[in-house]
A and B are shown apart, each in its own frame.
Chain A
Amino acid sequence: MIGTISSSATPRWSELLAGIRAQLPILLGTSPFGMIYGILAVEADLPVPVALGMSLIVFAGSSQFIAAQLFASGTPGIIIVLTTFIVNLRHMLYSASLAPYVRHLTMTWRSALAFLLTDEAYAVTITRYRQQPVERAPDSYGHWYFLGAGLTLWVSWQISTMIGVFVGAQIPSSWSLDFTLALTFIALVIPALTDRPAILSALVAGIAAVGAYNLPYNLGLILAVLLGIGAGVWAEGRQPGTDDSVGPQMNGSIDPHTDGEKGQP
């Protein structure tokens, strides 16, 4: 499945390590949430294996939070499952966005990467992939980067959940560590602003997300992204002179196999 570890072991490792490295600062922001989830799950009277199991196999922060609260209030299971579906619906957009970059991979690879597809893994991985044209994805080791980023978050999510469940420890909210998450996304959105339609898309999505903030189940988020995409497509259609295929992110590197450090955001 994973292929022979032969001539190209080094670029694989360097991509894996680059993915891990890109995810490390994000852990500052996600770990406090994992701990709070663990505490919430215990308070909701969930048995310890179930509380830990949810982090292990569902692996979706915001829906785990909501589920713990729903369990506590005795909500019927079918409602909890449906709510989870709606809360995580935005991941379908990430799936579509990454699909062209991973389509050459085996189903085993794609199945594993899809399991690790969170907001945080998506943000760093798509930024990495977009440093090159999509046609070069099969020659790159971007999937190792994806794997490194995804696994790093998964492992740390288990650890922080366990701290919450067993120790009940929390990081004081006055430290504002959650803000590192926003700062990381700020740093990642800048290289995505490649041209005017992309900037308009970001503005519309951002303003819509603020406007729709109070919609339940993360619906405001997916609505905002869809409006942003619509605005981008519309703006691009108004620019007859420009080619829609590429932006400045196509100033790819010379050799996709040896640029483990290059352009690392």
Chain B
Amino acid sequence: MTLWLIILGMVVVTYTVRLSVIALLGSAEMPDTMNRALRFVPPAALSAIVFPELLMPEGIFDPSPGNVRLVAGLVAAVVAWRAKNTLLAIGVGMVVLWTLQTVV
């Protein structure tokens, strides 16, 4: 019972956060300064997820060429940029990672 109450509490806080602005922005206009800022959420949020994945494998900062995730990620970035194809970027990135893992 108590367990379910805690789960319910987790649902309430998680859902409230996710619904917050989506629910509030109905008829009201988004302030201009807010709109200006929101344009940067995708580049900022996505790279805030990506950078540590590449630069901190196993939680330790490693900017060296021996960091196979960094190398594979950079190759995938170039593929994504030139070919504009997510699947290709994932495929090439994984092949580079697996190859380097076997070799290094």
Contacts and interface: CB of A to CB of B under 8 A. Distances in A.
Interface residues of A, number: 94
A63 B10 contact: yes
A56 to B, nearest CB: 10
A47 B4 CA distance: 10
A187 B61 CA distance: 22
Given A97-B42, A187-B80, A233-B40, A89 B53 contact: no
Contact of A114 (B7, B22, B38, B46): B22
Interface string A81-111: 1101100111111111111101100010011
A153 interface: no
Nearest to A263: B84
Contacts, number: 262
Interface string A190-215: 11110001110111111111100100
Contact of B11 (A58, A126, A176): A58
A219 to B, nearest CB: 12
Interface residues of B, number: 67
A191 B81 CA distance: 8
A130 B64 CA distance: 35
Contact of B7 (A53, A187, A190): A53
A239 to B, nearest CB: 12
B6 A77 contact: yes
B1 to A, nearest CB: 11
B103 interface: no
